[in-house]
Amino acid sequence: MMGWLRFLKPVSTYVASVAVAVFVAWHGCGELYRWYTTGELLTRLDSGTRWAHWQLITFDSHPFNFIIAFAIDASIAAIGLAACVLQYLIIRKWWNDKPRPAD
């Protein structure tokens, strides 16, 4: 059983990291696509009451909040895409490694 755990732990860690990277990239790119197509960003605004609510904002309606939300969404997309590229390079390195002949 210990042999399986030694194998499953790195594989499951890698699969989970790929899933997180893809989700982060998808979320960031999805928000940037929403901005590109509609000019709006979905953000959570505090209305001064006890509960904050989600709202679509534009640059005309909330300029400061829009710039902050856009910068956060662009950063999330960049981090997610960078993580996906890093995962790709790790897979490519692993795939191209050739076993060395035993002497």
User: Which tens digits make up the pLDDT trace of 58-96?
Assistant: 999 889 989 999 999 999 999 999 999 998 898 888 888
Domain ranges of the chain: 20-41+54-95
Share of the chain above pLDDT 90, in %: 44
- Distance between alpha carbon 65 and the CA centroid of its chain, in Å? 21
Q: Is the pLDDT of residue 1 over 70?
A: no
d(CA 74, CA 29): 8
Q: What is the mean pLDDT of the chain?
A: 86
Q: Say if residues 41 and 34 touch (Cβ distance below 8 Å).
A: yes
- Distance between alpha carbon 76 and the CA centroid of its chain, in Å? 6
> Which amino acid would we find at residue 43?
T
DSSP reduced 3-state for 59: coil
pLDDT band at 103 (very low <50, low <70, confident <90, very high): low
Q: Say if residues 21 and 35 touch (Cβ distance below 8 Å).
A: no
What pLDDT is stored for residue 27 in this prediction? 92
